[in-house]
């Protein structure tokens, strides 16, 4: 081979070699990402502890971090109805998946089901095969059977409509008169019902109320009236002051006057300016702050001059009987059960 031929062959070989290497050079292809939602049934999660996982998956490993930015719309509000662990799904380089978790938040509001519409707003270092959007419903688990604005879980009277301020109960619900002393004994200190060491016919009169529910009863503005069944007229005797709350399963006693002394079984004790209860021809009325009658006690149906109180037998649920007929035979028991024990 001559020198010219050798040189030509070397150049030709180098060119072919360059062509081969050039033909093998390729650009990186972006991976394709798809999105799915797991751990939901019929596109719903419960308001109570419900979770949904949003997954992003690649069709192959990427040499770069893939970031999928999500957007959340719908009637549900983030931070109020649900929390999301992050608004971006990160798929680290060398991985093929990533996820975020959505947690429903419990409340006691009756608001119906709420929606979360999840879609992607942008993606970095990947592309979408198809656009993504999905909807999750948060199921409201609060039920309001009586339609009064309080759900059954916190409504003290779930079957009877009432004001929210009254724990969902009708006015006066659960409030009872358990004992009334309208004719104290006139045998000296035997009639000293308020325990102040002085017998006074008017001051030792009392009415004992009891809250027969598991929630406080606000009786602010309630009033006690003396209704004359013969004349048909009412006279105001006492108005409960603002902030008067009768504790659950506890008693409250209103005395006619004096300085009540003693524990009275831990009952709330109030003093009026005089109840002036009559021995006959009288109906004690209790009205709410709007003037509606919620309780009554009619002395016409009982003995006119008992010289002792009338109490329920048994306490709370029974009919009214003269106190001394119930063992241990006391004449009264303001603030306590008939046997002197606390409610």
CATH number of the domain bearing residue 89: 2.60.40.2030
Q: Are residues 311 and 179 in the same domain?
A: yes
Centroid of chain to Cα 154: 5
Residue 159 included in any domain: no
Domain closes at, from 113, 139, 165 = 139
Q: Are residues 42 and 118 in the same domain?
A: yes
For residue 51, what are the β-bridge partners? 103
Mean pLDDT of 3-9: 43
Q: What domain range includes position 248?
A: 174-325
Of the chain, the end-to-end C-alpha distance in Å amounts to 125
Interatomic CA distance for residues 78 and 75, integer angstroms = 10
CATH number of the structural domain spanning residue 309: 2.60.40.1260
Residue 24 included in any domain: no
pLDDT at 46: 87
Asked if residues 191 and 206 have their Cβ atoms less than 8 Å apart, the reply is no
Which of the pair, 337 or 108, is modelled with greater confidence? 337
pLDDT 10s digits, 31-50: 999 998 886 666 889 898 89
> How many domains is the chain built from?
2
Residue 11 included in any domain: no
Q: Are residues 121 and 248 in the same domain?
A: no
Interatomic CA distance for residues 174 and 251, integer angstroms = 12
Q: Are residues 180 and 93 in the same domain?
A: no
Q: What is the value of pTM for the model shown?
A: 0.58
294: enclosing H helix or E strand: strand 293-298
Domain closes at, from 94, 113, 139 = 139
Q: Among 314, 188, 291, 295, which residue's Cα sits nearest to residue 252?
A: 295
Has residue 4 got a pLDDT over 70?
A: no
Residue 192 included in any domain: yes
CB atoms inside a 10 Å sphere around CB 203 = 23
Residue 62 included in any domain: yes
**Residues comprising the chain, all counted:** 343
pLDDT 10s digits, 281-294: 789 999 999 999 99
Q: What is the DSSP letter of 78?
A: B
């Amino acid at each position: 081979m001559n020198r010219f031929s050798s040189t030509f062959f070397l150049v030709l070989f180098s060119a072919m070699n360059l062509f081969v290497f050039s033909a093998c050079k390729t650009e990186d292809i972006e991976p394709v990402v798809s999105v799915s939602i797991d751990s939901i049934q019929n596109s719903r999660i419960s308001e109570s502890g419900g979770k949904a996982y949003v997954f992003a998956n690649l069709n192959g490993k990427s040499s770069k971090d893939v970031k999928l930015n999500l957007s959340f719309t719908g009637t549900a509000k983030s931070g109020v109805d649900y929390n999301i662990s992050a608004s971006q799904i990160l798929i680290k380089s060398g991985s093929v998946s990533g996820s975020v978790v959505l947690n429903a938040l419990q409340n006691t509001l009756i608001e119906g089901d709420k929606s979360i519409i999840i879609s992607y707003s942008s993606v970095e270092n990947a592309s979408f095969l198809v656009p993504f959007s999905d909807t999750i419903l948060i199921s409201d688990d609060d039920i309001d059977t009586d339609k009064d604005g309080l759900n059954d879980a916190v409504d003290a009277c779930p079957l009877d409509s009432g004001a929210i301020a009254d724990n969902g109960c009708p006015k006066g619900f659960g409030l009872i008169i358990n004992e009334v002393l309208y004719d104290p004994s006139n045998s000296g200190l035997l009639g000293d019902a308020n325990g102040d060491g002085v017998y006074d016919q008017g001051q030792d009169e009392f009415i004992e109320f009891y809250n027969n529910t598991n929630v406080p009863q606000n009786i602010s503005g309630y009033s006690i009236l003396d209704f004359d069944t013969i004349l048909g007229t009412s006279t105001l005797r006492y108005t409960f002051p603002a902030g008067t709350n009768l504790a659950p399963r506890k008693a409250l006693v209103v005395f006619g006057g004096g300085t009540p002394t003693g524990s009275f079984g831990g009952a709330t004790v109030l003093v009026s300016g005089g109840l002036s209860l009559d021995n006959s021809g009288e109906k004690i009325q209790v009205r709410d702050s709007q003037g509606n009658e919620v309780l009554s006690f009619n002395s016409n149906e009982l003995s006119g001059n008992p010289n002792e109180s009338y109490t329920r037998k048994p306490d709370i649920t029974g009919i009214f009987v003269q106190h001394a007929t119930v063992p241990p035979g006391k004449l009264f028991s303001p603030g306590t059960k008939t046997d002197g024990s606390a409610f």
